[in-house]
Amino acid sequence: MTQVTRFDPFNELVDDLFKGFLVRPVAYDGRANGALPRVKVDVAEKNGAYTVTAELPGVKKDDIQVTIDGAEVTLTAEVKREKEVTQDERVLHTERMFGKVTRSFTLPQEVDEAKAEAKFRDGVLELTLPKKAAAARKQVTIQ
């Protein structure tokens, strides 16, 4: 059986053009056959906070993990197979992917992890990530 993959040159072109513009991917392996598609993310800045919106279709709330380390944000999600194929069943065609997907990116400024909020509804994860207050400058007295 031959595996068919869809080639989308425009999507790859746009990814390459804007790579490093505002949201810089930490690691990007490219798309290999059988690999899960990347998590699509929108990032906006408003009222001293970043708003991150990520599409995670088919993922349950309990299977999502958000990690914040300074200005680096990592989203990890796992899509689980709903049912196993039985011995008497024969799969004729499948396009749905199952497995773990991770997306990391760095924001321009550090995030206040204690005030971060996350909401998940209808396959869309919404993060509100307040910026960390800049440390006050300290004047050193010369003796």
Instruction: Indicate the pairing of strand 41-46 with strand 124-130.
Output: unpaired
Q: What pLDDT, on the 0 to 100 scale, is given for residue 7?
A: 59
pLDDT at 99: 84
Residue 15 backbone phi and psi in degrees, to 5: -60, -45
13: its two tokens:
């072109």
CA distance 137 to 139: 7
Residue scoring higher pLDDT (92 or 15)? 92
**pLDDT tens for each residue of 108-141:** 999 999 999 999 999 999 999 999 887 667 788 8
What pLDDT, on the 0 to 100 scale, is given for residue 21? 47
To which H or E segment does residue 44 belong? strand 41-46
| pLDDT tens digit sequence for 57-87 | 888 999 999 999 999 999 999 887 776 777 8
Could you tell me the pLDDT band of residue 92, with boundaries at 50, 70 and 90? confident
What's the rounded Cα separation, in Å, for the pair 123 and 104? 19
